[in-house]
Each structure stands twice: as structure tokens, then as C-alpha cells.
Amino acid sequence: MTPLATAIPGSSNNGYVAAAYIVFFAIVLIYVAIMAIRLTRVERGLRELNERAETPRDGATQGETRQDGLGEDDAHSQARERETV
Amino acid sequence: MSSRTFPPMNGRGLRALSIATVAAIPIALALVFFYAPIEAEEGFLQKIFYLHVPLAIVTLCGFVLGGLMAIMHLRTRERNWDLRSYVAIHMSLIFGVGTLITGSIWARGSWGHWWVWSEPTLVSFLIIMLLYATYQPLRFAIEDPERQARYASVFAIVAGAFVPLNFLAVRLSTEYLHPRVLGSSSNLPPKMAFTFLVSLVAIALLYATLCCYELTAKRSRMLLKSRSRTLGFQ
Amino acid sequence: MVATVGALLRKELLVELRTLESVPGMSLFAVTTFVVFHFALNQNSVSGDEAAGILWVTLLFAAMLGVNRLFVADQDQGGFDAFLLAPVDRSAMLLAKALALFAYLAVLELVAVPAFGLLLLAPPLGQTLPDLLLVLVLADVGIAAIGTLVAALAVQTRARDLLGPLLALPLLVPVVIGAARASSPLFVLAHPTGPQVRWLGTLALYDLVFGLISYAVFDFLLED
């Protein structure tokens, strides 16, 4: 059986224990912070999407589906938008 | 379990999981520092054991889980499984860094060196982390998304099978002339064993919760992008 | 299936014989590395653990050169597509390529091991040669299985020369452990003994597990 002590032997080790636990929680906190930033970005994107979906554009049907290729650049899609208007 | 409700992504499932995690961690901490007795040889330093070993166990299980999910992906071709595999491996990488750092701190406190080759857990971890560190470069070096998912799954399966084998090989090769630095988790007195179990559960819950959050975040982002594109913006 | 593997293997070996892309480079690399080790370690001869380490590190890195080139010709010149069109079992390509890589490793060792014995090894090779051969064969099977799989993975990515070794080296650590520990008693100066069974067992287990996994998983790499 693992031997047990009756008193705390040396106190120089406290620093290491604290460091280990602090490092772990720091990692978790950093991760949560990154997630929070990402969440705000997604929420902002959603808000923009909602606004744009609600304001009517001249001559454009709302909710029009377009076949978009991956990696189409902005200039190209902007040109397409102008065409429908 | 349908692939849409597992793992819990939002609503009551995720909330319950989060609450369980937020409850388990302080309980585990309280047990570690107030309930578990001090060990004679290493003294207070031994308390790191309750953090380092559960982290190690959860990390390794996460990698193996990533491999299992990759098998499901290759069998069903559902992108959901690939996403889960990616998140499991990604999270295990983070927890693995935590394992290495806490293990190194423990070695420093115990032996005075920041790294010891005589501890097989730490050494196999180094190898496994070096392997999984190539996971993301591999993914991002392949442009076609379908192929990227497929190749990543192949990697996850091979690497997942590698984890136990590597452990075995390193354990065999570590000289037992020195006593194991970080101690084994067998022959624990009941109070320590109970504390260890609770810590393990707490870390496992944390892993599961963070994975679910990451999955939700990724899916929201993907959904947002595809909706934006469908509606003709950007 | 056997016929397909035979045909593919014959093609691989013929191409290698004609172009001499991999094997001379690998062998030369190994011999040069021994010279580098002499200067790096500042020693005239080595034995025991050190000798085993130098031999296996050199063989491993030389093998990486071969792994890098394994699928390059198929990728660049459309060999994959031609193969996929044929009505054959796709795992035949894995077997053929792995056997080819094994053959390259065998030739590599035919050059590198005597060179090692000549340049750096303190005790003579003579009596321990059969044991060494056993270790070499077991290790080569593992290197061939993982090397082929990793080569197929890496060749379709952008950074193929870099990714190949980065993927293969950690995966091959158990092989290094098993091979080095097994061959180290063979290189002891005073009384060389045979390899320990547990290391041979590790190598055999590794070969079995990863041979099967590579076989199971290879198909998924070839779809397109």
C-alpha cells in the first residue's frame, strides 16, 4: 500500500503543485476565451445576415438560391449581384 | 442513438453536461486538497497525480475515440463523423499538452529535472503528441474537402491503433532500475483511490463538454457560411 | 490477386532497375551517414547499445528516402488512374508496393550492414549474422508496411516530402525500440549473446497489427 504521512514533509513543493494546477486551468480558460470570441463572431455574422435578409433590394427576390462554387472571390460574386439588380 | 442527437449539441443535453462538469470540478478539487491523505514519499507534490494521470487517461481515450469515429466516417461516409473525429483529436491534443506540462512539472519537483526518460507514460506521450501534431498539417495540406476528410480518417485510425502499441513498446523499453518517478495508480489506499476516481470523472466530463461546445461552434460557423453563400452574400 | 501483385511487383522492380532512383541513393546515404557519425561522435569504433543505435537510426532515415519516392511516379504520371480503371483488388497495389519497399530495404541493408561492420563496428559480424538477419527481416516488414501506407497518404498532399517522414518516424518508434534493443546484445564486444525474445515479439506484434491495419485502410486512400 502507498505509505501515508502524518504531516506535510517539505513545503518547497507547494509551488510546483500550484504551478501544475494553475497551468491546467489557464489552458482551459484560454480555450474558453477563444470559444467566446468565436461565438461573438458567429453572432455578429448572424445579425448581419438577418438584417440583409430583411431589407428588400430592388428587383431581387429574397432567398434566391445561387449555385456557388467554393473559393469564388468577392469581385466575381459582387459582379453577379450587380447583374440581378 | 441517431447521429443527430449524439453527442448533445444544444438545449437540455448540453446544459446538463455543462452543469455536471461545473459541479464535478470543485468537488474533485476539494477532495484532492482536503480529503485525500498526504503520501509519505513525495509529500504534497503527489497531489499533481490527481491532475496529471486523469489528463493522460482522458487524452489517450480521446485519441482512440477519434480513431473509432474515423472508422464510422469511412463506413457511413457521413461528414458528421469526420467532424466528431476531428474535434476529439483536437481536444485530445490540447489535453495532451496539459499532460506533458503537468508531467514535466511533477518530474521537476520530484527529480529536479524538467524531463525524465525513465517515466514511460511521459515518454510515450511525447511520441504520440509528435505523431498527432502532424494531423492538422496533413488536413490542411489537402485541398479537396472530401479527400481531406477521408485521408484524415485513415490517419486517425492508424494513429489510434498506434496508441496502445506504443505504450506497450515504451513500457517494455524503460529500464526499471530507477523506481517509477510518477508512481503507479495501483495499490492506492481507498481515500486516494476514491479521490482519483472523482478527478478522473471530472476531467472526462470537462473533455466531453468542451468537445460538445467545439462541435456546436463549428457547425454554427459552417451553417452561417453556407447560408450566407446561399442567400448570395459574399 | 496473387497474379496482380506479381505483375505490379515486377513492374516496380523493373522501373527501379532501369531508373535506379531509390536504392543507390539510399545506400549511399547510409554509408555517408556512417562517416558523419564517425566525425560527430569522434570515435573509431562503437559497440553494444551505441552501435545498435547508430545502425538503426541510419537505416531508418535511409528508408525515409525510399518512402518519399515510392508513389511519386504514380502520382505524377497518372499511374493511379490507370490502376483504378483495372478490375482488380485495390489492396494489390499496397502489397506490391510494400514488397517492393521491402526489397529496396533488403538491398540497402546488403550494402549498409557490411559497410557498418567495416567502418564503425568494433566486434566482428560473423557469428551473430543469422540473429542480425532475423532482426533485420522483422524490422523491415514493419518499416515496409507503415512506409507504404504513409507514402500513399503523403503523396497526395502539398508538402509530400516533409509530411512523409514526419508521419512515419513517430509511427516507427516501436520498430526502433524493438530492433535496437534486439540487436544491441549482438554488438557487445566481449560475449555477444542472442536477441531477447521479448523484443522479437514486439517487432512481430507490430508487424502483424500494422500490416493488417494498412491492408484494411489502404482502399480508402485510392478512391477518386
C104-118: b (≥16 Cβ within 10 Å) or e: bbebbbebbbebbbe
Q: Where does residue C62 rank: exposed (0-12), middle (13-18), buried (19+ CB within 10 A)?
A: buried
Cβ of A68 within 8 Å of Cβ of B230? The answer is yes
B176-198: b (≥16 Cβ within 10 Å) or e: eeeeebbbeeeebeeebeebbeb
Cβ of A80 within 8 Å of Cβ of B106? The answer is no
Q: Which domain holds residue B116?
A: 11-176+189-225
Q: A8-22, C53-67, C114-128, C187-201: which has the highest mean pLDDT?
A: C53-67
Q: Which residues of B touch C153 (CB under 8 A)?
A: 138, 151, 154-155
Residues of chain B with pLDDT > 90, as a percent, come to 41
Q: Check whether C82 has a pLDDT greater than 80.
A: no
- The per-residue pLDDT for B41 is 72
Cβ of B134 within 8 Å of Cβ of C173? The answer is no
pLDDT, tens digit, for every residue of B215-224?
Answer: 988 888 888 8
- The per-residue pLDDT for B190 is 83
On whether the CB atoms of residues A62 and B219 are closer than 8 A, the answer is no
Per the structure block, which three cell numbers stand in for B206?
470537462
Cβ of B188 within 8 Å of Cβ of A81? The answer is no
Mapped onto helix, strand or coil, the DSSP state of residue A4 is strand
Q: Cis bond leading into B190, ω under 30°?
A: no
Residues of chain B with pLDDT > 70, as a percent, come to 88
- The per-residue pLDDT for A13 is 67
Cβ of B161 within 8 Å of Cβ of C174? The answer is no
Distance CA C222, CA C199 (A): 34
- The per-residue pLDDT for B108 is 86
On whether the CB atoms of residues B169 and C177 are closer than 8 A, the answer is yes
Task: Map chain B to HEC letters.
Answer: CCCCCCCCCCHHHHHHHHHHHHHHHHHHHHHHHHHCCCECCCEHHHHHHHHHHHHHHHHHHHHHHHHHHHHHHHHHCCHHHHHHHHHHHHHHHHHHHHHHHHHHHHHHHHHCCCCCCCCHHHHHHHHHHHHHCCHHHHHHCCCCHHHHHHHHHHHHHHHHHHHHHHHHHHHHHCCCCCCCCCCCCCCCCHHHHHHHHHHHHHHHHHHHHHHHHHHHHHHHHHHHHHHHHHCCCC
Residue that wins the pLDDT comparison between C162 and A11:
C162
Q: A4-18, A69-83, C208-222: which has the highest mean pLDDT?
A: C208-222
- The per-residue pLDDT for C224 is 64
User: Range with the lowest mean pLDDT among A49-53, B74-78, C178-182?
Assistant: A49-53
Structure ipTM: 0.85
Average pLDDT for C95-114: 94
Q: Which residues of A touch B37 (CB under 8 A)?
A: 4-5
pLDDT, tens digit, for every residue of B100-132?
Answer: 999 999 888 888 888 888 788 888 899 999 999
* Interface check B18 vs C, CB under 8 A: no
Average pLDDT for C17-33: 91
- The per-residue pLDDT for B1 is 40
Mapped onto helix, strand or coil, the DSSP state of residue C122 is coil
Q: Check whether A63 has a pLDDT greater than 50.
A: no
Question: For cell 510546483, what's the residue?
Answer: A16
Q: Check whether B54 has a pLDDT greater than 70.
A: yes
* Interface check A36 vs B, CB under 8 A: no
Q: Check whether B156 has a pLDDT greater than 70.
A: yes
Domain count, chain B: 1
* Interface check A1 vs B, CB under 8 A: yes
pLDDT, tens digit, for every residue of B38-50?
Answer: 777 777 888 888 8
Q: Which residues of A touch B102 (CB under 8 A)?
A: 20, 23-24
Distance CA C51, CA C41 (A): 11
Residues of chain A with pLDDT > 70, as a percent, come to 49
Nearest residue to B101 (alpha-carbon basis) of B91, B115, B90: B115
B226 Cβ neighbours under 8 A, 6+ residues apart: none
Asked whether residue B230 is domain-assigned, the answer is: no
- How big is the CA angle at B132 (ends B128 and B138), to the nearest 5 degrees? 150
Average pLDDT for C158-187: 90
Average pLDDT for C70-89: 79
Whole-number CA gyration radius for chain B: 20
* Interface check B231 vs C, CB under 8 A: no
Separation in Å, CA of B131 to nearest CA in chain C? 5
Mapped onto helix, strand or coil, the DSSP state of residue C46 is strand
Mapped onto helix, strand or coil, the DSSP state of residue C20 is coil
Q: Which residues of B touch C184 (CB under 8 A)?
A: none
Distance CA B57, CA B207 (A): 11
Cβ of B127 within 8 Å of Cβ of C217? The answer is no
Q: Check whether C26 has a pLDDT greater than 90.
A: yes
Distance CA A12, CA B157 (A): 44
- The per-residue pLDDT for B175 is 59
* Interface check B76 vs C, CB under 8 A: no
User: Range with the lowest mean pLDDT among A61-70, B83-92, B176-185, C210-219?
Assistant: A61-70
Q: Check whether C108 has a pLDDT greater than 50.
A: yes
Look over chain C and give the mean of its residue pLDDT values, rounded to a whole number.
89
Look over chain B and give the mean of its residue pLDDT values, rounded to a whole number.
85
Q: Check whether A83 has a pLDDT greater than 70.
A: no
